[in-house]
Structure formats: structure tokens, C-alpha cells
Amino acid sequence: MKIAVALVPMLCAALFTSLTTQLRAESPVAQPPENFRSLIVGDSLEGWHGRRTINPMELANMSDEQQAAHREKFVEETNAHWTVENGEIVNDGKGPFLVTNEDFRDFELCIEYKTVAKADSGIYLKGTPQVQIWDHTNAAGFALGADKGSGGLWNNSKGATGKDPLVMADRPFGQWNAFRIVQVGARTSVWLNDQLVVDHAIMENYWDRDSPLIVKGPIELQTHGGEIRWRNISIREFTDEEASQILRSHQSEGFEPIFNGTDLTGWIGAVDDYEVSDGVIKCKPNHGGLLLFGKEYANFVARVDFRLPPGGNNGLAIRSPSKGDTAYAGMCELQVLDTEHPKYKGLDPRQAHGSAYGMAAARRGYLRDTGKWNTQEVTVNGSRIKVELNGTVTLDTDLSQVTEFLAGRKHPGKDRTSGYFGFAGHNDPVEYRNVAVKVLPDSP
């Protein structure tokens, strides 16, 4: 595997974190690693509150007053079952779960725990279950996969990637275990005692299997049936660039850059309507038209970073002909749009960012703030198209099954089996960088 020079600092940081995690597991309460901050404040539960399991969307729909009242219901019970001793958070196996007051989007979490036989626990991410903690000895008679060990995304669907840990890495009872968890969007990696047990898997939305994981939410410590102790809980929130670098670096084999960062060599179509500067392709204001890479693709994966100005509008041309309106003449135009801008109030769902324009609606709410770079991966395989935005799958659909179209206007190109990839224009100064394509095998 080739490792880009730009990834070296990240890999060094990961190595530092791994070594630090090992040292922390062998010692009592320690200072957080560099650039991390502790989520344990002295010998108190400051920054945490208790609650019973609840769908975070249900909480989000409450008023501030209702949320405060909901927290207040569990204060007495939380204090009865959760304590802090010498920097260790201790639970007796009963009571509500312990939840951070803060929400987190893209982050690296370090956390150590020590539990007892017949206990069952876990760590909710973004208020969603869970990175599993088992009694791996099966002493409790579990028939749910406890023998595979802890660290898996146990609430993923049966057979889904990440549900079962890659290796059994639990230490014997009486010893501390150390987790390192990296989550970007729904993409989740877990190391238990320095062994990779979940590798960049999608964490499913337990609360609504048809929807992606929510954008941000709290860390939650679950407990069932026996004492568990937690210590050295620290977190580092990723910058947008760090989060995108993690997404771009994973499974990068087979991707070929189609933009050289300097000029539009190899591109065809509206080359005069775009400009290149500092490694970025930018649509000129009040210009547009199809800018296409001069090679046709059948099945492929495209990765691209994009940045939207306020109200910005562009699109990704998928299996497009060299001329015409790719939204109709091509397989589709995937919207690149500042969806939440006031000018788009009342937008049809099939026009939102990431949607197959006029045919299939993408999930909203996963764009970063306007003016920031986003990372998107598009998989085109046969008649299926999948969009992953900033680590979260927002569209996964079979266009051959679409029979209803925006304004009743049909899309004769949707069944195309090959064509060009590129950008659709639309007169706004939308920017692109890090454009790469991986060819997939022909569909069976």
C-alpha cells in the first residue's frame, strides 16, 4: 500500500496515541495525550448527566425546558449509582446511563474500563448504541457473540461490517482495558488494547435503520449487571481537514487522480468556464456548462472535495454524454448545492445536495458549514448509485426502479451504462479538489 506524504503526520500521531494508550493502561490516572482534553473533571461528575436510553431525535424535538426537566428526573438516581473515586468513574451496575453534556461530530476518543464477570456494558457514540463491552468468558451464558470479544458495533444489523470484532482483544478480569475510537461521520474504527477490532465500518442508526447516524451527539457510558470503572476518558475533535484526510486515506488503493492540480489537461467541454488555482478547480462566476474528464466510465467510484459559496449550485455529472443536460441525458446529475440557504426554501427533496436530481432524494443535514470543504465519495455500479458525504451515506438507490420524476419530466439517460464524469456548472463559483476515480469491474 502506498502512503502519501501528507499522511505521515497523521500516522505519527496515531502511533503516539497508541503508545500513550498502552502506557496509560499500565498506570493509574494520567494526563490526556497531546491535543486531547479530559472528560473527567476532578472527583466530580461535572460535564455529565444521567438518563435512561432514549432516541436522541426525541430529545432534539423537545424544548430547552423539556430537556432540562428530563435531565432533572434522573439526578437523584444518577448520584446513587455513579461516583468518582480518585479520577475513576464508578458505577455499581445499576441506574441510568451516564451521558456527556456536550455533543461531538468527528472525534478520537480514548477511554479505559475495568469490569467484572457477568456484566454487560458499552459506549454509545452520538447517543447511539454501541461499542460493545462483554463478559468474554461467557460466564453469564450469553449466546449473543460474547465469545468474540468486546469492541464491535454490536447494534449493527446481523452480518453487517463492524458488528463482530475482527479479533478478541479483551484482557482478563481485574485488568484495565483501553479503547481508542475514531469516528468521522458514521465511519467508525475501534482499537481495543492496541488491536484493531473495527476497521472504518459504518455505524448504523439503531433508532431508525432507514436513516443515517445523526450528525453529532454525546458520548454515553452504558452499564448492566455489574460494577464497571472508567478512567482516562479524553477526546480530540477533528478539524474538517483532519476528518477529510481520514476519509480520503482509507482504502485508497486503485484510485487514480484525474486532476493534476495545475491545469485542465485531460478535461473536455467547458474548459474556458473554469479556472485552476492552488490545486483547486473553480467554476467562474456567471459561467457554467459541462466540464468532463476525457475518459468514459462504466462502473466506478469517484472521490472529490468540494466547497460551496453561500447559495452555491453545481453538480456531479454521472455517465454523462459529452453534450446536453446531464441531469436528463446522463445517468444523473448529483446535486452539489448549499441546500440550507434561504433561497432554496421549499426545495423539492429530489433537488437537495447529493440527490440524483429530480429522481431520488438524499438525506439532508450532513454538509459542513457553508464555505468549508466537504469530502464526498460516489459509487456507481450497474444501475445503483451511492453517495457518502463526510463519512455518512446519504443516498443509496437503484435508479432503474425510479418511475416518478420531478415535474413529471422523464430522464431518458438514467439507464445509460457508461459515460463521462465531471462537473455540471450552473454559474456559481463552486470549487473542487482532490478529484480521483477508481474503476470497478463490469456488473455481472
pLDDT tens column, 171-197: 999 999 999 999 999 999 999 999 999
Q: What does the pLDDT read at residue 444?
A: 57
pLDDT digits (tens, 9 = 90+) for 94-123: 999 999 999 999 999 999 999 998 888 999
In this predicted structure, the answer to whether residue 207 has a pLDDT above a threshold of 70 is yes
Give Dmax over CA atoms of the chain in angstroms: 70
Listed in sequence order, the residues at least 6 apart from 37 whose beta carbon sits closer than 8 Å to its beta carbon are 234, 235, 236
Mean pLDDT of 255-267: 98
pLDDT at residue 425 greater than cutoff 70: yes
298 by Cβ neighbours in 10 Å (0-12 / 13-18 / 19+) ranks as: middle
Residue 18 pLDDT class (50, 70, 90 cuts): very low
**Least confident range of 143-152, 231-240, 362-371, 410-419:** 143-152
Banded pLDDT at 344 (limits 50, 70, 90): very high
| Mean pLDDT of the residues in the chain | 92
> Which residue do the cell numbers 486515506 mark?
249
Mean pLDDT for the stretch of residues 69-90: 96
How does strand 107-115 pair with strand 177-184? Answer: antiparallel
pLDDT band at 145 (very low <50, low <70, confident <90, very high): confident
> Residue 50: phi, psi to the nearest 5?
-100, 150
Asked if the model's pLDDT at residue 12 lies above 50, the reply is no
**What pLDDT is stored for residue 9 in this prediction?**
38
Q: Measured between alpha carbons, how far is 161 from 95 in angstroms, rounded to an integer?
A: 31
pLDDT value at 11 more than 50? no
Q: State mean pLDDT over 344-355.
A: 97
What is the reported pLDDT for 443?
Answer: 66
Q: How far is CA 190 from CA 193, 194, 288, 361, in A?
A: 10, 9, 44, 31
Please report the domains of the chain, with CATH numbers, ordered by start residue.
5-244 (2.60.120.560), 255-439 (2.60.120.560)
The pLDDT of residue 7: 39
pLDDT tens digits along 29-76 = 889 999 999 999 999 999 999 999 999 999 999 999 999 999 999 999
- pLDDT at position 121 is 93
232 close to 99: Cβ distance less than 8 angstroms: no
Distance CA 356, CA 327 (A): 8
Encode 387-424 in three state secondary structure.
EEECCEEEEEEEHHHCCCCHHHCCCCCCCCCCEEEEEC
pLDDT of 16 higher than 50: no
